[in-house]
Amino acid sequence: MAYDEELAERIRELVEPGPHLVEKKMFGGLAFLVSGHMAVAASGKGGLLVRVDPKEEDDLLAADYVDIMVMGGREAHGWLRVTPEAVDDDEVLREWVDRGVAYARSLPPKKK
């Protein structure tokens, strides 16, 4: 399944453009990277992938529409999957995009 291009455009509108922002096709989706760190992505499996502070993960998983991301059969801690139905709501999408971007910005830039 290809990523939802409409969702990608909605994410693009929410992410502040700048020299540290890069869009990159990854894992069948479209990822938005900040200073080399993936912040959010329109997932190829539908919905949104969000990078979060692992310390906040348990609290964030309390929402019915959030699951831990699984890649290669293994849980990817610090990464959450938000259902397509949840991100249909503009406020919910903004909350998750802002969370992912803020966490990526808190990390030291990756070296090229």
pLDDT at 111 over 90: no
Measured CA to CA in angstroms, residue 18 lies from 14, 33, 34 at distances of 12, 11, 9
pLDDT at 1 over 70: no
Cβ proximity of 44 and 28 under 8 Å: yes
Question: In terms of CATH architecture, what is 5-106?
Answer: Alpha-Beta Complex (3.90)
Give the chain's count of helices (H) and strands (E): 4, 6
Place of tokens 């290809």: 2
When pLDDT is averaged across residues 1-27 and rounded to a whole number, the result is 89
When pLDDT is averaged across residues 48-58 and rounded to a whole number, the result is 96
pLDDT band at 2 (very low <50, low <70, confident <90, very high): confident
pLDDT at 109 over 90: no
pLDDT at 74 over 90: yes
Per-residue pLDDT tens for 41-51?
Answer: 999 999 999 99
